[in-house]
Structure 1
Amino acid sequence: MLAKRIIPCLDVDDGRVKKGVNFVDLKDVGDPVEIAASYQKQGADELVFLDITATSDHRQTMSDVIEQVSSQVFMPLTVGGGIRSVDDMQAMLRAGADKVSLNSAAVHNPELITQGAEKFGKQCIVVAVDTKWNESTKQFDVVINGGRVNTGMNAIDWIKKVQDLGAGELLVTSMDADGTKQGYDIPLYQAIDKVATVPVIASGGCGKVEDFSEVFEDTKVDAALAASVFHFGELTIANVKQHLTNVGVTVR
């Protein structure tokens, strides 16, 4: 069995790390370079850096912050937010990112996934899918623009499509669970298990160390992403990896 990855996420707004609940009520957490360096010391497997207002503010991701972060950390770095073209991808990779994450831009221009995969390789292209359960239609909807716009698209169908277009990895966030600390959205990832052909990162809802073992034991996800529990010192990467080892989940 491949080792499961533990991935802290830095949600960055105006050059500062922020964290909210259900994508709103953002609180300042600190400097992204300092926080990234601390996660490197803790033994994080990767780091995800999301410029959470770049798309809604119609601006590009801050490559200067990426350069500073990448000069401090030597684990794989995925960068997303405001990436709308192959040139934007190239700028992020040049700034030090190992992978780029496409979300709203992929929905508006699905060909961008293929263009990125052909130019940089599939392993560089992460498609981020933000989902929200739709009780009336009994499906997970795709939401974009930092959770502000519900596309009405079926998330499972969208995942099948982006894989065909060349996505090398999926970062799937449950908006219903985000920031609630009630655990990962297990039914969502079990639904994705039936169609996923590339690695899946689970995101949204982690509140305690057992949430990590639950998502790895009950679904086939390859990695679990968390923010609040790490940012506010409730858990460390070492705590999580020790717990997972104790319950028989293979970690790096």
Structure 2
Amino acid sequence: MLRSRITPCLLVHKKGLVKTVGFKDPKYVGDPINAVKIFNEKEVDELIVLDIDASVEGRGPDFNLIKNLAVECRMPFCYGGGVSAVEEAKKIISLGAEKVALSSAVFKDFDLIKRIGDAVGIQSVVVVLDVKKKSFLGGYEIYIHNGKKATGIKVKDFVEKLDKIGVGEIVINSIDRDGKMEGYDFTLIDIVRNATEVPITILGGAGNVEDIRKVISKYRIIGVAAGSLFVFKGKYRAVLINYPGKKEKQELHQSYS
């Protein structure tokens, strides 16, 4: 049975777990493996791990980290960062990840999605789109290389393109809302939801559990991801790995209007 998903998103920078605001000023919040161990205990739905250095530095995935994550993970996890070849994706899946995330590489080689899908199964291929609101475009523009390079492409147009070829999932990451904990961008979700039948996950803006509830209540079967919400606690943003308890999670999954 299909249902909503509540997913922590971990950002890896210089081997450490960090959190950013607007894709800038990464703050060290701990060791990725320790975070995974805690999330195991909290029985999270799934996990997204993104290496935010790889594409910017022009290098491939950190296979050693992926292997260590896979050994510890008791939940399905998706890994992204520096993936630009079929063999890299195959190795990531062989190490134990359920999904492989693509981002910058698909703007150089769109057919990479199909080739990786043929190799590992299209259901395991996730495309992550980092977006900013741009009034002169009349919508939202996609950025690559950890938000450093504008593509000039509207998110709606690219999502429609992804919908035509079919991918396992599309993750929409709001650069404007990243780390600000002020709520999700519903206008952005509407644009993406209306442009595709592909499963989507929205990321960027969660400040509390109620923000998650609002998204699930409106859109029902959807992935809701968060970073700061699951690594910080309280107004002083003390580092504390957290996640809704079993009863609260069940209520969130069932919070349809």
TM-score (normalised: structure 1): 0.93
Q: Deviations over 1:49-70 (max 9, x none)?
A: 1000100011112111111111
Mapped to 2, the partners of 1:63 and 1:248 lie a distance apart of 37
Q: Does residue 118 of structure 1 match 2:121?
A: no
Q: Deviations over 1:99-137 (max 9, x none)?
A: 100011011110000111111111110011111111122
Question: Aligned pair in 2 of structure 1 residues 54, 221: CA closer, same or farther (>3 Å)?
Answer: farther
Aligned to 1:238: 244
Native 8 Å contact 1:40 1:73 kept in 2: yes
Aligned to 1:172: 172
Q: Does residue 10 of structure 1 match 2:10?
A: yes
Gap regions ≥5 residues in structure 1:
none
- The worse-fitting range, judged by mean Cα deviation, of 219-228 and 34-43 is 219-228
Aligned to 2:144: 144
Superposed CA RMSD in Å reads 1.9
Question: Aligned pair in 2 of structure 1 residues 240, 191: CA closer, same or farther (>3 Å)?
Answer: farther
Mapped to 2, the partners of 1:63 and 1:233 lie a distance apart of 31
Q: Deviations over 1:2-23 (max 9, x none)?
A: 3211111110012111111010
Alignment-mate amino acid for residue 184 of structure 1? Y
- The worse-fitting range, judged by mean Cα deviation, of 179-188 and 216-225 is 216-225
Native 8 Å contact 2:3 2:221 kept in 1: no
- Which structure 2 residues correspond to residues 190-209 of structure 1 after superposition, within 5 A? 190-209=190-209
Question: Aligned pair in 2 of structure 1 residues 247, 15: CA closer, same or farther (>3 Å)?
Answer: closer
Alignment-mate amino acid for residue 159 of structure 2? I
- The worse-fitting range, judged by mean Cα deviation, of 177-186 and 213-222 is 213-222
Question: Aligned pair in 2 of structure 1 residues 176, 244: CA closer, same or farther (>3 Å)?
Answer: farther
Q: Deviations over 1:81-101 (max 9, x none)?
A: 100010110121122211100
Q: Which consecutive segments of 4 or more residues in structure 1 shift more than 6 A? A: none
Using the TM superposition, give the Cα deviation of residue 198 of structure 1 relative to its aligned residue in structure 2, in angstroms.
Answer: 1.3
Mapped to 2, the partners of 1:162 and 1:9 lie a distance apart of 22
Aligned to 2:255: 249
Question: Aligned pair in 2 of structure 1 residues 241, 190: CA closer, same or farther (>3 Å)?
Answer: farther
- Which structure 2 residues correspond to residues 54-203 of structure 1 after superposition, within 5 A? 54-203=54-203
TM-score (normalised: structure 2): 0.92
Native 8 Å contact 1:182 1:206 kept in 2: yes
SS at 2:54's partner residue? coil
Gap regions ≥5 residues in structure 2:
235-240
Alignment length, in residue pairs? 250
Alignment-mate amino acid for residue 190 of structure 1? D
Mapped to 2, the partners of 1:221 and 1:24 lie a distance apart of 31
